[in-house]
Amino acid sequence: MAVSISTLKAGIKVAFDAEKGQTTDQDGSIERISEAIAEAVAEQIVQGINTAVLALSAPNGPVTGTITASAE
């Protein structure tokens, strides 16, 4: 799955909406918004990394076997 701009945008909007009524704890609000944006971006990066198109070929014919991959 490629990075989704609309999903990322929605996540960022949620972060700002959650804090728009905050008037007394500006530093805390900035911290929470920053954390939410960082999490939204990281989630989209992981989604992009977890998507791979693998194509195997050989001059002598089809390739068979097992591919094991993981992302952390």
User: Residue 37's closest CA among 8, 59, 60, 58?
Assistant: 8
Residue 5 in this model has a pLDDT that exceeds 80: yes
Q: What is the pLDDT of residue 7?
A: 87
23-45: pLDDT as tens digits: 899 999 999 999 999 998 888 88
Note the pLDDT of residue 36.
92
What is the three-class DSSP state of 58?
Answer: strand
